[in-house]
Amino acid sequence: MIQIENTPNPNALKFLSTNKISEIGTKEFQKTRISEVDNNFVKSLLNITGIELILFSDNFLSVKKEEDANWENIKPSVISYLNDYFQKNKKPILLKKNTEESKTHIDKNSNETINQINDVLETKIRPAVAKDGGDIKFISFEKGVVKVELKGSCSGCPSSMMTLKKGVQNLLKHYVKEVTSVEAI
């Protein structure tokens, strides 16, 4: 069964499934890079008129539509594709063996501050962002500034800058004293 949840981004919806969707955690696919996609299911979704990008996660996918696209045309298509896939397949759409994982790997001997930042992102921030159909990825830390990438429904969301400054920045500054600000790339 597929349930739909609104996200803070009016151009993105979250489609929740009782089936496991991804074995590799979160992965984003953009229509502008469809030629790089190997997965036929992902290509089919990206080919739906009006879809701009899709973020896959463990038990949901977020769909971001183009500004002028209509949800009434997109929602039934996404639900139909998901239901059809899971009627024919018992395995997740994104499998570990077929897709390279793009998560940031942390060397245990790396900078302690970066380890603390990643720990806060993983345990306190990423779960909250996932509830809104998005993801956040650590990019760098230099001179007190943490750079992150917002993905899924968070990319281009009108409230993402407020979330970044009021939520992410405040949490990181609270838990990691070396952090002075957070910026999205």
Same domain, 18 and 75: yes
Residue 102 lies in a domain: no
Residue 149 lies in a domain: yes
Q: How far apart are CA 78 and CA 63, in angstroms?
A: 9
Residue 122 lies in a domain: yes
Residue 30 lies in a domain: yes
**β pairing state of 145-152 and 27-30:** unpaired
Q: How far apart are CA 95 and CA 38, in angstroms?
A: 12
> Token pair of 43, please?
């290509």
How many helices and strands (H and E) does the chain possess? 6, 8
Band of pLDDT at residue 86, cut at 50, 70 and 90: very high
Residue 134 lies in a domain: yes
- What was the pLDDT predicted at 135? 85
How many Cβ atoms are within 10 Å of 95's Cβ, its own excluded?
12
Band of pLDDT at residue 110, cut at 50, 70 and 90: low
If phi over 0 gives left and psi between -120 and 50 gives alpha, with beta otherwise, what is residue 24? alpha
Q: How far apart are CA 130 and CA 153, in angstroms?
A: 9
> Token pair of 57, please?
């996660």
Q: DSSP label at 159?
A: T
State CA 111 to chain mean position distance.
26
For 16-72, the pLDDT digits (tens) are 999 999 999 889 999 999 999 999 999 999 999 999 999 999 999 999 999 999 999
Q: How far apart are CA 77 and CA 94, in angstroms?
A: 19
Number of domains within the chain: 2
Range of the domain at 49: 2-88
Q: How far apart are CA 3 and CA 47, in angstroms?
A: 22
